[in-house]
């Protein structure tokens, strides 16, 4: 079966810190023929990178905490526990972003980087595609408050045992999708990462 779509009209309806685009399109149907014309708005974020920071020597995971505009609908939970993440700027590789964001958000340098996967966060209405990594760090040197002043970032760093991070997922203390995916991946692959990084 050939899958096709046709964009009838595309416009940018808002451009600010983020961008909103509107598409009118039609597409082929699984049963054959073409769909009716449909209209969809897309929240355009571009590509991003996320890194779960792990110390294989101490079995510690580095988490960050900051206020998130998307979580303001639940004021008592507006500060989310997450992992290092940031957008890909023109000319940057995903690995370069991983190194840059780790330094900006935690104050530490990556010692090694393992690519995990790429995925859309919520493709029903958002274009964002994430490259997820696991990064090796020395957790004994990580603490404090970080972030860039010109981006008004206020990021608190937490170093926790892996078992604690996993418990935070199970208890819904971590409720953002990307760190949930990352912690669950590490639960399945921790021994493989230790074997790789502790040689």
Query: How far is it, in rounded angstroms, from Cα 45 to Cα 180?
Result: 20
What pLDDT is stored for residue 154 in this prediction? 80
Under CATH, what is the fold of the domain 47-197?
A: Nucleoside Triphosphate Pyrophosphohydrolase (3.90.79)
Q: CB count, 10 Å around CB of 152?
A: 7
Element (H, E) at 43: strand 38-44
**What SS3 class is residue 117?**
strand
pTM of the model: 0.91
Which of 151, 7, 146 minimizes the C-alpha distance to 63?
Answer: 146
**What SS3 class is residue 188?**
helix
What pLDDT is stored for residue 76 in this prediction? 87
Query: How far is it, in rounded angstroms, from Cα 88 to Cα 95?
Result: 10
Mean pLDDT, consecutive 10-residue segments, the chain of 199 residues? 93 91 96 95 92 97 92 90 94 96 93 97 93 96 72 83 98 96 98 93
Sequence spans of domains, the chain: 5-44, 47-197
HSE-CB for 155 with a 13 A CA cutoff: 25
What pLDDT is stored for residue 149 in this prediction? 64
* Catalytic residue IDs: 151
């Amino acid at each position: 079966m050939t899958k096709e779509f046709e964009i009838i009209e595309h416009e940018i309806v808002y451009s600010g810190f983020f961008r909103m685009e509107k598409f009118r399109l039609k597409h082929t149907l699984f049963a054959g023929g073409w769909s009716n014309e449909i209209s969809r708005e897309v929240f355009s974020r571009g590509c991003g990178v996320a890194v779960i920071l792990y110390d294989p020597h101490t079995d510690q995971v580095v988490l960050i905490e900051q206020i998130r505009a998307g979580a303001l609908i639940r004021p008592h939970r507006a500060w989310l526990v997450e992992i290092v993440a940031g957008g890909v700027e023109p000319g940057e590789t995903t690995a370069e972003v991983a190194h840059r964001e780790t330094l900006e958000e935690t104050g530490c340098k990556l010692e090694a980087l393992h690519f995990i996967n790429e995925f859309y966060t919520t493709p029903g209405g958002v274009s964002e595609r994430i490259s997820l990594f696991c990064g090796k760090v020395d957790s004994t040197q990580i603490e404090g408050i970080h972030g860039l002043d010109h981006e008004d970032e206020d990021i608190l760093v937490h170093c926790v045992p892996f078992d604690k991070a996993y418990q935070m997922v199970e208890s819904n203390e971590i409720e953002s999708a990307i760190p949930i995916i990352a912690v669950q991946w590490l639960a399945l692959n921790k021994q493989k990462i230790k074997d790789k990084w502790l040689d």
